[in-house]
Amino acid sequence: MRIAVLTSGGDAPGMNAAVRAVTRTAIYKGMEVMGVKKGFAGLMTGEFKKMCSRDVGSILSLGGTILLTARAPEFSSEEGINRALASLKKYQIDALVVIGGNGSQRGSNDLHKKGFPVVGIASTIDNDVYGTHSTIGFDTALNNAVGAIDKIRDTATSHQRVFVVEVMGRDRGILALHCGIAVGADCIVIPERSFNINQISEKIKGNFELGKKHFIVVLAEGAAKAEKFADALQLVSGIHASISVLGYLQRGGNPTFQDRFLATNFGVNSVQLIEQKKFGYIVGVQNNHVVHIPMEDVATNIKPIDENLFELQKYLCI
């Protein structure tokens, strides 16, 4: 039996740990493993490379992905999928493991619907994949963001200043919401909820009157850009806010324990799924157990946010 593995979409810390787990588990079970370079782009152009146990030595602790990743808009077309299927046939691949987030798993589903045996592994720093409590990369991204905001807080406190910190999350505020709780943000703004700049202005004034030395807004990029938000705050209330856009540093770096652990579990489990010929599922986690979510469900459902976290925050910013 011969399987292929690829990483797709935005890179996420822990992807390498998943590639290692897939590769070694498959070899342990007597399969051959091919790595596909550059995600679906390399699947279409046929960039395959044989993977041995030593090829994945010491990648467990590295950020990014040794298999590389790339955008591949052509893949969503009928022609793109056919080119991919042709490559998979040419290299005599019996099953494919796709490590990536929502967009990538839609691609997995397209291949699956064409009848090709595919297993997905939920990996994205956004943690927005339906049906799984967490995804590979989320914990590292959170810790990166928390570490950066801890540093910014030193300056905010020293200068008794308002800071607007923009974190990743084009469509969703899951990262912003969790990160905001963990840094003790005074205000969390996410796309899933409207915000009122007047109320925020009142809260800022109130907090400084309480003797707090800083006011930190954690803002998901999808809710508003930091610069725009700060401009509005200035206009409405005359309050000046410094801004910081965390950007790409959130997605890199050595994966945390959680992401290595999740990635290792997901990787081993995906090969077990292949052994059992159970295809068309995304490997995720629920209740601390690995679960298998039908690709169709992932493609058609939206992961809800945990509304209770707003309740929590209310108690803490006093």
Q: Please, what is the Cα angle at 138 between 279 and 74, to 5 degrees?
A: 55
Catalytic residues: 126
126 binds its own copies (CB under 8 A): no
Q: Please, what is the Cα angle at 116 between 112 and 121, to 5 degrees?
A: 55
- Residues that bind its own copies (rule: CB under 8 A) add up to a total of 83
Q: Smaller CB distance to its own copies: residue 39 or 280?
A: 39
78 binds its own copies (CB under 8 A): no
Give φ, ψ of 4 to 5 degrees: -120, 155
Taking CA atoms, 184 is separated from 83, 153, 176, 198, in Å, by 49, 10, 12, 21
Q: Smaller CB distance to its own copies: residue 100 or 120?
A: 100
Q: Please, what is the Cα angle at 115 between 110 and 117, to 5 degrees?
A: 90
Answer for the pair 163, 214: CB distance below 8 angstroms, yes or no.
yes
For residue 142, the minimal CB distance to its own copies (Å) is 4
20 binds its own copies (CB under 8 A): yes
Answer for the pair 166, 244: CB distance below 8 angstroms, yes or no.
yes
Answer for the pair 179, 145: CB distance below 8 angstroms, yes or no.
yes
The number of C-alpha atoms within 13 Å of 225 and in the hemisphere containing its C-beta is 3
For residue 40, the minimal CB distance to its own copies (Å) is 14
For residue 197, the minimal CB distance to its own copies (Å) is 22
Answer for the pair 119, 295: CB distance below 8 angstroms, yes or no.
no
Give φ, ψ of 5 to 5 degrees: -135, 140
DSSP string over 178-229: HHHHHHT-SEEE-TTS---HHHHHHHHHHHHHTT-S-EEEEEETTT--HHHH
For residue 318, the minimal CB distance to its own copies (Å) is 5
User: Within positions 232 to 251, which residues make up the interface with its own copies, using CB under 8 A?
Assistant: 242-251
Q: Which stretch binds its own copies (CB under 8 A): 9-17, 73-81, 85-93, 198-206?
A: 9-17
Which of 30, 78, 209, 210 is close enough to bind its own copies by CB under 8 A? 210
User: Within positions 27 to 66, which residues make up the interface with its own copies, using CB under 8 A?
Assistant: 27-29, 38, 53-54, 57-58, 60-65
For residue 114, the minimal CB distance to its own copies (Å) is 27
x/- contact string, 84-123, with its own copies (CB under 8 A)? ----------------------------------------
**Count of CB atoms within 10 A of residue 231's CB?**
14
212 binds its own copies (CB under 8 A): yes
Q: Smaller CB distance to its own copies: residue 89 or 278?
A: 278
Q: Smaller CB distance to its own copies: residue 112 or 251?
A: 251
User: Within positions 148 to 187, which residues make up the interface with its own copies, using CB under 8 A?
Assistant: 148, 150-155, 157-160, 163, 178-179, 181-184
